[in-house]
Chain A
């Protein structure tokens, strides 16, 4: 039996006869014995020999057993060195003193070899149990440090990917608990080439590493496609398909994706499984709730995925408040949840929207007491034209001179008009013209405007005057979706002609549609303040391009870029 492992036992007893007797008993049990005549010697021997067990006479000269026990226990630290007091004290008080000085057991004189052997075995079991507990505790501590270090490194890598965007823009205020990533929360923001701001707040199911792993590909898709100017629907489809492909069945990602367009004075929203977001007026009133209308990303197969978005007007100074369920599920000491009602109360009590973020944080603190580590909160103010940060330019100059004499015709027809947005591909193609690269943003804006004008006002025959007010705005986009859904014919054709011009070159863009055309002079003559939420597009095109004109009764737009 392993319990019979030999120990070094310290015997401290001032009576020479008793000391010899004890030493003999213990030695016969197979242990090594060291002996001391008083407490001071006992402490010195303990330091020198580090015995695993101590038999200590209570009453000794020079230093008594009580003091020796205190010193030995202090020297032993966390390890258990059992001390058995040897005592003729019979009164309760004396025995209590033995235990209070650090003794683990006591043994009355005269000594019984059988009982002493049993006590040593029992104490040895305790000693080894304590040693095991300490060893496991240290192991857990080491693993924990290791894990924290891995998380720190992983977070540093992820931050490089996730925060390569524009979360630091002046119109965004956000809070993400330091290790929210390891709880599956994700917050991304970036500008499109046309200067729209795109924001994603996501929340993966589950916790820890599995939840964090999916965040990386999602961030890559988000940044890659946003930089190339893809629309919301295309990005959503790509993210959904990618997550569906890589995640196990029981994992998915709740997400709220936004596109803020300064040019259109609107925000486009898709919410799949995230808590309600809020659209707030300049004075903090709740204008509308951005509620979840879709299944989270990564659940549905591509053919069943619903990429339909909602478009709402958003004027400069108006705000969006987004949050993760960590905010609503913050619990107080009685396990009550913060919940939607308390959040709505904070919104209702707010007088200055610029303070809302702080007020919400204070309310959570007052309510919860213990902060959760998976809180994500984001406050976005619609920016003004002056605040727009230019999209980062991606130069990949091959060193060869770019082709400067070519043309291309491109036509999107019927069914393809419902889903396909050719603008990102075409802008990508125009990147080949090095002289135009600095104007990629303008090119993207102009092509986007011309294409959506041709599609919405031309092919679909929608009247932009509808967008005069907030209700009209909603009606417009509902009608757009309805007409697009039942579309069977029609076309939008886009022609590029590139030619050398002086030291540089010239790009001619022609966009033609199958619609009924419009009264160009009347629309362009309309003063911009009367345009309200509509008709900003044409003026934007005129401002960004070198030259812009409309012909064929408004069915054909011709735009030039010269460099």
Chain B
């Protein structure tokens, strides 16, 4: 699986790991990762440790996730982004929408 999900023990935090290229090819898998969960998590962490590349459709997918998680009220964090990936997130100023570390 190129997109893996993991719930914290208390079931409140959902972690989504994306491996390899994060582009339109991952669209369905990424959606399934948060839509097919029985319970709505309080917070979502997108772990990009093993993400090699990210394109603008991935930015769109992050927006969909944010919308699903409650829009402006959502708690979505993006973690472990490589410097290349961070650059792409920075050009679009996504740190204004997501907690990126």
Contacts and interface: CB of A to CB of B under 8 A. Distances in A.
Contact of B91 (A206, A252, A275): A275
Residue among B57, B90, B92 with the highest chain A CB neighbour number at 10 A: B92
Given A249-B63, A295-B97, 9 more contacts: A205-B56, A205-B57, A205-B59, A206-B60, A254-B92, A293-B93, A295-B93, A295-B94, A301-B72
A206 B93 contact: no
B2 interface: no
B56 A206 contact: yes
Contact of A299 (B24, B56, B90, B97): B97
B85 interface: no
A203 B59 CA distance: 13
A250 B57 contact: yes
B33 to A, nearest CB: 15
Nearest to A328: B91
B64 A295 contact: no
B93 A292 contact: yes
Task: Please tell me the size bucket of the interface on B.
Answer: 10 to 19
B92 A295 contact: yes
Q: What's the dominant secondary structure at chain B's contact region?
A: helix
A292 B91 CA distance: 6
Interface string B23-62: 0100000000000000000000000000000001101110
A273 interface: yes
A205 B91 contact: no
Contacts of A293: 93
9 contacts: A203-B56, A205-B56, A205-B60, A249-B67, A250-B60, A250-B63, A254-B56, A273-B93, A292-B91
Contacts of B64: 249-250
Nearest to A306: B96
Interface of A: 203, 205-206, 249-252, 254, 272-275, 292-296, 299, 301, 304, 325
Interface string B61-95: 10110010000100000000000000000111110
B67 A292 contact: no
A331 B4 CA distance: 30
A205 B94 CA distance: 14
A325 B72 CA distance: 28
A301 B72 CA distance: 10
A340 to B, nearest CB: 9
A272 B24 CA distance: 22
Residue among B56, B61, B72 with the highest chain A CB neighbour number at 10 A: B56
A296 B24 CA distance: 19
A33 B38 CA distance: 66
A301 B97 CA distance: 12
Given A250-B63, A273-B92, A292-B92, A206 B97 contact: no
Contacts of B96: 295
Nearest to B60: A250
A420 to B, nearest CB: 25
B60 A273 contact: no
A289 to B, nearest CB: 12
Contacts of B90: 292
A272 B25 CA distance: 26
A343 to B, nearest CB: 14
B20 to A, nearest CB: 14
B26 to A, nearest CB: 13
Given A205-B56, A206-B56, A250 B93 contact: no
A299 B67 CA distance: 11
Contacts of B97: 295, 299
Given A249-B63, A250-B64, A252-B63, A206 B92 contact: no
Contacts of B61: 250
A219 B85 CA distance: 31
A250 B61 CA distance: 6
Contacts of A296: 92
State the 10 A-B residue pairs at the shortest beta-carbon distance, nearest first. Answer: A250-B60, A273-B92, A205-B56, A249-B67, A250-B64, A295-B93, A205-B60, A292-B91, A250-B63, A249-B64
A296 B22 CA distance: 20
Contact of A294 (B56, B57, B63, B93): B93
Residue among A205, A251, A252 with the highest chain B CB neighbour number at 10 A: A205
Contacts of A299: 63, 97
Nearest to B97: A295
A293 B90 CA distance: 9
A93 B91 CA distance: 67
Nearest to A340: B87
A325 B91 CA distance: 11
A89 B70 CA distance: 78
B70 to A, nearest CB: 13
A251 B96 CA distance: 17
Nearest to A301: B72
Nearest to B27: A250
Nearest to A296: B92
A498 to B, nearest CB: 47
Contacts of A294: 93
Contacts of B93: 272-273, 292-295
Residue among B63, B90, B94, B97 with the highest chain A CB neighbour number at 10 A: B63
B94 A252 contact: no
B62 to A, nearest CB: 8
